[in-house]
Structure 1
């Protein structure tokens, strides 16, 4: 006989994914306007889903930066601003240009065919728009998205493609809110990008992308199309010192995944989690939905959830993405950092070095302290970069890297001590190229050690 609870869980999984997809599309495409309050009762009537399913989807969207969770006050669509658009655009450009170089070098004839086909659909719709004919804005942006994704799909990095897709969708939301079509300029740039792809001219494509993205941001800001959506409500008050049951469960489960207490590939049975974390099933489902968005948990359709697995390829993928993001942020931070920032760098390095010296002397009791100071040191180095979007994206990738650190990326003794000291010195000299070189040795050397250990 079928288990009724299991059948209900399977139905929730299927329904929840569909509701999440619909809510996400409506948010990205601007059907749910920036700043709009997302009352659960109103959403229940629109989407035909239960309150629990809606909360799961909204928590997942909050982890993606598309929705704001306001504690006991519910949810709202993330607001828009010119400053945030500029940050999102910068992140998109960083990721896309990096991926273009890799994709153009690796792409084969099949890839070329997909790029040509994606451009054909986009160009046909752009011709209709230029001629003043009726055209579906959502379809136009879908074809635009497909073309840009086709350009980079041969880059060979799943982590890079996932991070780019998330950044692009946040960028796309601004385009849909502002209804941006820059006419012949955009159409010509798309055609030129196609020619660069077929000629494998990655440098030329990146110059075009810089003009393409910068032109869009300038157009949106100069026309004032974001002004009607600017938030006039005050920022939500800080949450109470005591976390809610949901926040407590999220922090505990997340920490156990990062530390490996919940092992890679482990099935996450709701009944077992309820007993272990003293949380209700609804709270647990919301928590797991947030962790799915952070790529720490995998949803198995109707079979439930499991901790995201490990693989050598995934470690290299995440390490290279971390290196890209951290290197770019170092450039920005070294340029903008002041003496207050220098003081924070020196202070956290002092604490890190003290823990490293004790570890190097064989005192294993400071291992967790070292890991915490290591994370804080790298965060402080880039804290003056001026982009919350870049910082948040780096933090998410760093945490995925740190999962491997708990399993296989151990303390590398004198090598790590020297590299951290060199990074501090580069920061004080404002030597960004030197810091990037040290960072590459630091991160990739750790990966080589982890892979050689056989722990994965």
Structure 2
């Protein structure tokens, strides 16, 4: 829990490690050195250990006996499984959201879409990396799409899948060999949702999620050393 005066040492360690793992600043398979993290963030070793324990419970870190913690590996097999599962869950949540979403849901969705469209996708200082601000807006937009869904458990599962696929999405950015119009993909999904066309929305979302997988699987630069 965050105190009224600001984040605790645990909050600081957890937020930074989670961000570094999702953004791939900590690459898959990298060992996490607790003392180094504590020194860099100016927090206690205990706070880092507790943060890593929490991340391990969320499958965002791997605890190994006698070896400490590391960033989870990635693989084509897992990516395909995650993508197929997420497509199924997203479709349910989207259709339910369209069926039950009210004017407040539409208002929040419009705001989330507008913010996403106004931000650059890439970091200006490093075009091979996604902008952290854009990534936060992207997460908010995808969450807003399904916010009208009435099933808390389906939304919870969907949120877990989103986080697990985030690292793969970040990895796909520098591996694109052809130009991808992500903004157009989002506009198509947004327009279909606002038109309350469940079939079109589901199809566009399936294409949107599948394309990231295809980029990673089909990249000529992909090798055993950088994804497995």
Band the TM-score falls in, shorter-chain normalisation: 0.7 to 0.9
Q: Say which SS state the counterpart of residue 62 (structure 2) adopts.
A: strand
User: What displacement does 1:124 show?
Assistant: 2.6
Aligned partners of 1:174 and 1:33: how far apart in 2?
A: 11
The answer (yes or no) to whether the contact 2:73–2:227 under 8 Å persists in 1 is: yes
Note the 1:226-245 alignment, pairs <5 A. 226-227=222-223, 228-231=225-228
Structure 1 residue 49 corresponds to structure 2 residue 46: no
Structure having the higher Rg: 1
Structure 1 residue 141 corresponds to structure 2 residue 140: no
From 18, 21, 27, give the equivalent of 1:27.
21
- Corresponding residue for 2:185? 189
Structure 1 residue 221 corresponds to structure 2 residue 217: yes
Note the 1:138-217 alignment, pairs <5 A. 138-179=132-173, 183-217=179-213
| Residues 116 and 183 of structure 1: CA distance in aligned 2, closer, same or farther (over 3 Å) | farther
Residue correspondences, number: 217
Aligned partners of 1:139 and 1:225: how far apart in 2?
A: 27
The answer (yes or no) to whether the contact 1:32–1:77 under 8 Å persists in 2 is: yes
Q: Which 10-residue stretch deviates more, 93-102 or 43-52?
A: 43-52
The answer (yes or no) to whether the contact 1:82–1:226 under 8 Å persists in 2 is: no
The answer (yes or no) to whether the contact 2:130–2:170 under 8 Å persists in 1 is: no
From 72, 83, 89, give the equivalent of 1:78.
72
| Residues 100 and 111 of structure 1: CA distance in aligned 2, closer, same or farther (over 3 Å) | same
| Residues 230 and 189 of structure 1: CA distance in aligned 2, closer, same or farther (over 3 Å) | closer
- Corresponding residue for 1:401? none
User: What displacement does 1:72 show?
Assistant: 1.5
Q: Say which SS state the counterpart of residue 200 (structure 1) adopts.
A: coil
Aligned partners of 1:119 and 1:183: how far apart in 2?
A: 21
Q: Say which SS state the counterpart of residue 73 (structure 2) adopts.
A: coil
Q: TM-score, normalised by structure 1?
A: 0.44
User: What displacement does 1:34 show?
Assistant: 0.9
The answer (yes or no) to whether the contact 2:61–2:71 under 8 Å persists in 1 is: yes
- Corresponding residue for 2:105? 111
User: What displacement does 1:46 show?
Assistant: 1.9
Q: Say which SS state the counterpart of residue 154 (structure 1) adopts.
A: coil
User: What displacement does 1:95 show?
Assistant: 1.6
Q: Say which SS state the counterpart of residue 92 (structure 1) adopts.
A: helix
Q: Say which SS state the counterpart of residue 29 (structure 2) adopts.
A: coil
Q: Say which SS state the counterpart of residue 179 (structure 1) adopts.
A: helix
- Corresponding residue for 1:309? none
The answer (yes or no) to whether the contact 2:185–2:204 under 8 Å persists in 1 is: yes
Aligned partners of 1:145 and 1:225: how far apart in 2?
A: 27
| Residues 48 and 230 of structure 1: CA distance in aligned 2, closer, same or farther (over 3 Å) | same
Aligned partners of 2:199 and 2:15: how far apart in 1?
A: 35
Q: Say which SS state the counterpart of residue 215 (structure 1) adopts.
A: helix
| Residues 210 and 121 of structure 1: CA distance in aligned 2, closer, same or farther (over 3 Å) | same
User: What displacement does 1:184 show?
Assistant: 4.9
Q: Which has the higher contact order (CA 8 A, sep 6+)?
A: 2
User: What displacement does 1:73 show?
Assistant: 1.0
| Residues 136 and 219 of structure 1: CA distance in aligned 2, closer, same or farther (over 3 Å) | closer
For structure 1, the residue ranges without an aligned partner over 5 or more in a row are 1-10, 232-456
**Deviations, residues 59-98 of structure 1 (Å, cap 9, x unaligned):** 2111222211111211110011111111121222122111
